[in-house]
Amino acid sequence: MAESGEKKHEATPHRRQKAREQGQVARSHDLGSALVLLLAVSILWWWGPKVLYKLAELMISGFQQPRYWTLDPHSAAGLVAASLIECLWALLPIMVAVCAVALINNWFQVGILFLPEKVNFDFSRINPVSGAKRLFALPNFARLGFGLLKIGLVVCVIAFGLWGKWAAIQNAHMLTTGEIGGLVWNTTMDLCIRTAVILLLLAVFDYAFQWWKMEQDLRMTDEELREEIKQMNGDPQIIARRRAVQRQLALNRIQNAVPEADVVITNPTELAIAIKFDIATMTAPIVVAKGAGHVAARIRKLALSHGIPVLERKPLAQALFKLADIGQPIPVEQYAAVAEVLRYVYQLQGRKLPTLENLNARRAA
């Protein structure tokens, strides 16, 4: 259905969950890249010299030991493998930290989200016409502008960083080899940290913008809200019709059951419970109909029209309405009170009087 009207309603939890299942989440690719870059540079600043010393030791050992030049192919392969393992051990803290930050960043932005349908083949992704439309779409122009802004800011950060060290760079010819290496290392690390920080700030802004854009896209018009309510709760017209049918069926049951009752116990106007007892066939009185409000009024009207006694017993009516189900025997706790009511009704009608002992005996049998 085409959208119409203003999107003035916040997204419902159902709409948010449906959008999430389709992969529509607030996510900034730049945030992960910036965090990984900043962490990698920070670790290199702290762990980098140790890695360089380890790599230097391997190189010195390889060039200084003559036996390395007379190795057979099998021994050379073992030596290369051992050197690679030592290099990996030296780089392991950096790799583990970078992978951990990448995973944490993805979990923070998206959480656990598995969408296997996203890896299915989609011809529209390689369709030149669709690709051209996406290329000239407004969001891609905005992303292009944001990318150019990042490049410009990074260039400015690097330029200002080099300008601050320009005097030391001009005098580098007066330094020793070790001092030049230290200058290059410190300058590189300083520029990388500055770049990572500015990229992180831009990535945070990008994530905030993506979150805001997603919230705006998920907002709902009046028509969308009504359609979702229908989908979740059903069509109001169908629900009303179903309830009307249920009420009619209940009234039909009452219409057939109340004339067969022996007595109707009321509260006196809010509740009505119709009770039937046949001492020859039943082990205990049963509730043939009960109701509240207009249903109770209907039960009382039917009882009076068919000459069924209607008695007011407030506590008994409340207990039976709460504890007794239609078509089921009354609770044992109410035997005495119901026997008292039936005794009174039977006396009026000149029928054999049921007693509490009769009820208990019939139930035990």
- Annotate 56-120 with DSSP letters as a single string: HHHHHHHHH-GGGGG--HHHHHHHHHHHHHHHHHHHHHHHHHHHHHHHHHHHHHT-S---GGGGS
Whether the Cβ atoms of residue 43 and residue 93 lie closer than 8 Å to each other: yes
pLDDT of residue 291: 86
Please, which pLDDT band fits residue 173 given cuts at 50, 70 and 90?
A: confident
Continuous segment of H or E residues that includes residue 310: strand 310-312
pLDDT of residue 2: 43
pLDDT of residue 3: 45
pLDDT of residue 265: 92
Chain centre to alpha carbon of residue 229 = 19
pLDDT, tens only, 247-277: 777 777 888 888 888 899 998 778 999 999 8
Residues 123-148, mean pLDDT to the nearest whole number: 65
Calpha distance 212→53 (Å, rounded):
48
Q: What is the mean pLDDT of the chain?
A: 76
The alpha helices in 219-334, defined as continuous H runs, are: 222-233, 236-257, 294-305, 314-323
Q: 293 vs 59, which has greater pLDDT?
A: 293
Calpha distance 309→326 (Å, rounded):
19
Longest Cα separation, the chain: 130
Closest CA to 87 of 60, 45, 65, 58: 58
Helices and strands (DSSP H and E) totals, the chain: 13, 4
Whether the Cβ atoms of residue 158 and residue 195 lie closer than 8 Å to each other: yes
Chain centre to alpha carbon of residue 288 = 46
pLDDT of residue 147: 78
Chain centre to alpha carbon of residue 144 = 33
Sheet holding 286-292, edge to edge: 286-292, 271-276, 263-266, 310-312
Whether the Cβ atoms of residue 206 and residue 44 lie closer than 8 Å to each other: no
pLDDT of residue 264: 92
pLDDT, tens only, 286-323: 998 988 888 888 888 888 998 889 999 898 999 998 88
pLDDT of residue 121: 56
pLDDT of residue 356: 55
pLDDT of residue 1: 40
Q: Which of 70-79, 141-150, 185-194 is the least confident region?
A: 70-79
Residues 222-251, mean pLDDT to the nearest whole number: 72
